[in-house]
Amino acid sequence: MPTYDFICEKCEETFEVKVSIKDYDRYKKQNCPKCKTPDNVRRNFTPPAIKFGAGFFKDGYQSAKNVQQSNDGD
């Protein structure tokens, strides 16, 4: 079930709401859990976290040590 992030611009409270995709209405106002008002609440769009760490070679292998050069003339 997707989690939607919201932020209240009045009190700067951030909160999440878990709602199924078919039940989520993007036009429905969400109430801030801290100040209890829907007036200044907006959806907070966060980019997905993608981590590229050490240990991955261009072909997806664990390291370049396992890749052997070809003598085919390529």
pTM (2 d.p.): 0.56
Any idea where the domains of the chain sit in the sequence? Answer: 1-45
In sequence order, which residues have a C-beta less than 8 Å from that of residue 17 and are 6 or more positions away? 3, 4, 6, 30
CA distance 24 to 4: 9
CA distance 53 to 19: 32
Mean pLDDT of the chain: 77
Strands (E), the chain: 3-8, 14-18, 41-43
pLDDT tens track for 41-70: 998 887 777 766 655 556 555 555 555 665
State percent of the chain over pLDDT 70. Answer: 68
pLDDT (0 to 100) of residue 49: 74
Question: Between 71 and 40, where is the model more confident?
Answer: 40
Res 33 pLDDT > 80: yes
Q: How many CB atoms lie within 10 A of CB 58?
A: 7
